[in-house]
Amino acid sequence: MTAPRRLLLVNGPNLNLLGTREPAVYGTATLADVEAITRDAAQQRGFEVRAVQSNHEGVLIDAIHDARDDCAGIVINPGGLTHTSVVLRDALSGVGLPVAEVHISDVRAREPFRHHSYVADVALVHVVGEGVAGYAAAVARLVDVITGQADG
């Protein structure tokens, strides 16, 4: 059986407001732009993308669980759940898929409460502070891990 050639793109709470929410921090690209950037980067590497965004933690966890069936990896920007959600971390760990964690802003240079990520220890790829272009970088690095071209 061949491995699936699909990635799950997960965007957490408030990322639906991209383009209008704090443009000085997050830029003016919209969630639709992020999804297009991610799909284009994946397509260039022979992968497709299923995208989900929700302001509800359980919806994100269900999508992560469902990814076990037909995805080769997960690209996630957990938003504020990065710093608060053990259950999101456990869902990512539990499905056993390689994970890329993305943050548009440099969370390490922001408020101290943003410095800790519950996702960091389960993610093989970390892209922080590269703006929305970071999604394409995360896809490239994650696909390299999935295809054995880089260590995870």
pLDDT in tens, 35-47: 999 999 999 999 9
Known catalytic residue: 103? yes
Dihedral sign for Cα 27, 28, 32, 33, please: negative
Q: Is 6 annotated as a binding residue?
A: no
The overall average pLDDT reported for the chain is 93
* Measured distance CA(104)–CA(110) in Å, rounded: 12
pLDDT at 83: 87
Structure tokens at 23: 């443009």
Q: Is 104 annotated as a binding residue?
A: yes
Percent of the chain at pLDDT exceeding 90? 82
- Mean pLDDT, residues 52-79: 98
Q: Which helix (H) or strand (E) holds 117?
A: none
Domains in the chain with CATH codes = 6-146 (3.40.50.9100)
- Mean pLDDT, residues 25-37: 94
Q: Is 77 annotated as a binding residue?
A: yes
Beta carbons within 8 Å of 56's beta carbon, 6+ residues apart: 13
CB 51 within 8 A of CB 11: yes
* Measured distance CA(4)–CA(147) in Å, rounded: 11
Q: Is 114 annotated as a binding residue?
A: yes
Name the active-site residue from 56, 65, 103, 115: 103
Q: What is the DSSP letter of 27?
A: -
pLDDT at 2: 60
Known catalytic residue: 56? no
- Mean pLDDT, residues 145-152: 86
The whole-model pTM stands at 0.93
